[in-house]
């Protein structure tokens, strides 16, 4: 089932990795008070919208969609930012302030939102064939499930931003993202050209609602 196009509502498209929207977003975050225990989850979640989007479409294509992502995965992401296993200048200090129950609640909150349709085209047949071959070698769908829909602590990557996917896979390769050595191992066994094909292919897949 395809989701309605919510992208138009944003009216801003930023493609550069460090465009003006990014700085405005950071400024917004820095000006906001750190989440406090008294805040409701909705209030805490407001902070996330600055980068991840008011309606689920992130400001930057290298920022992941978190609306409709799995609770277990989102919780692990926050946990890893807090522990320092994963590092990001914006996310790490934010996660530091969160207790486990806050992380679980935030993860639940976003998991219950609708995954947005980013309107990314399906990969052309030659790219798809390359991606399918790469999956045949290292077995992405063993964890990310059929049609790359994810489950539990395995993220949905179907319909995620192509730029984010490609950057993430490359970051695993260089260990710039160091919180999943298993992914690092698999990405080291996958060529950069295959990674590019996988990113394009996965980005062009549709969100399939669970049962």
Partner 1 sequence: MSPIRTALAIAGACALATTGVDLATSQEVKQEARPAARPSLTPSNVTQDMLNRAASDGNNFLHTNGDYTQKRYHPAAQINASNVRRLRPAWIFQTDVKESMETSPIIVNGVMYVTTSFSQVYALNAQTGEQLWYYKQPLGPITTYCCGPNNRGVAVADDKVYLATLDAKLVALDAKTGNKVWQTDIADPELGYSETMAPTVVKGKVLIGTNGGEYGIRGFVKAYDAKDGKLLWTFDTIPENSVGVWAEKDATGRDMKRNIQAEKDQLAKTGDPYKTLGGGVWQNPAVDLATNRIFFVVGNPSPDLDGSLRPGDNLYTDSLVSLDLDTGKYVCHLQYIAHDVWDLDAVSPPVLVDVRDKSGKLIPGVLHAGKTGHVYVHDRKDCSLIRFSDAMIPQENMWTLPTAQGARMLPGANGGVEWSPMAVNPQLGLSYAINLHQPMTYQVQSSPYPGGKLWLGGAFKVIPSEEQWGNITAVDYNTGKIRWQVKTPQPMIGGVLATAGGVVFTGEGNGKFNAYDARNGKVLWTFNAGAGVNAPPSTYTVGGKQYVVVAAGGNVQLDFKRGNSIIAFALD
Summarize as ranges the residues that interact with partner 1 (CB under 8 A). Answer: 70-72, 75-76, 85, 104, 107-108, 111-112, 131-133, 135-143, 145-147, 149, 151-153, 179-186, 188-189, 208, 210-211
Name the DSSP letter for residue 15. Answer: -
Question: Which residues make Cβ contacts (< 8 Å) with residue 167, sequence separation at least 6?
Answer: 62
Least Å from the CB of residue 51 to partner 1 = 23
Least Å from the CB of residue 92 to partner 1 = 17
Closer by beta carbon to partner 1, 36 or else 211 = 211
Closer by beta carbon to partner 1, 25 or else 198 = 198
Least Å from the CB of residue 62 to partner 1 = 23
Closer by beta carbon to partner 1, 14 or else 206 = 206
Task: Identify the bridge partners of residue 14 per DSSP, sorted by sequence position.
Answer: 60
Q: How far apart are CA 32 and CA 91, in angstroms?
A: 14
DSSP annotation string for 97-133? T--HHHHHHHHHHHHTSPPP---PPPPPHHHHHHHHH
Specify whether the CB–CB gap between 156 and 116 falls below 8 A. no
Least Å from the CB of residue 97 to partner 1 = 21
Q: How far apart are CA 99 and CA 37, in angstroms?
A: 9
DSSP annotation string for 173-188? HHTSS-S-HHHHHHHH
Closer by beta carbon to partner 1, 21 or else 91 = 91
Closer by beta carbon to partner 1, 87 or else 133 = 133
Q: How far apart are CA 166 and CA 184, in angstroms?
A: 13
Least Å from the CB of residue 163 to partner 1 = 23
Specify whether the CB–CB gap between 48 and 95 falls below 8 A. no
Closer by beta carbon to partner 1, 17 or else 142 = 142
Least Å from the CB of residue 34 to partner 1 = 25
């Amino acid at each position: 089932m395809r989701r309605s196009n919510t992208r138009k509502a944003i009216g801003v498209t930023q493609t550069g990795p460090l465009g003006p929207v990014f700085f405005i977003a950071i400024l917004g975050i820095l000006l906001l008070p750190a989440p406090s225990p008294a805040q409701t989850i909705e209030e805490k979640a407001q902070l996330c919208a600055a980068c991840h989007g008011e309606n689920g479409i992130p400001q930057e294509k290298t920022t992941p969609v978190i609306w409709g992502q799995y609770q277990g995965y989102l919780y692990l992401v926050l946990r890893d930012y807090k522990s320092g296993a994963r590092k990001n200048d914006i996310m790490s200090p934010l996660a530091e302030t969160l207790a486990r129950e806050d992380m679980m609640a935030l993860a639940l909150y976003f998991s219950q939102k609708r995954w947005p349709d980013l309107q990314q085209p399906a990969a052309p047949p030659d790219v798809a064939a390359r991606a399918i071959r790469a999956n045949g070698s290292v077995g992405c769908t063993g964890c990310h499930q059929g049609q790359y829909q994810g489950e539990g602590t395995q993220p949905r990557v179907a319909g995620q931003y192509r730029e984010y996917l490609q950057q993430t896979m490359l970051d695993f390769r260089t260990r710039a993202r160091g919180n999943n050595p298993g992914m690092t191992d698999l990405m080291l066994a996958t060529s950069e050209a295959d990674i590019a094909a996988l990113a394009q292919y996965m980005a062009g897949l549709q969100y399939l609602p669970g049962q």
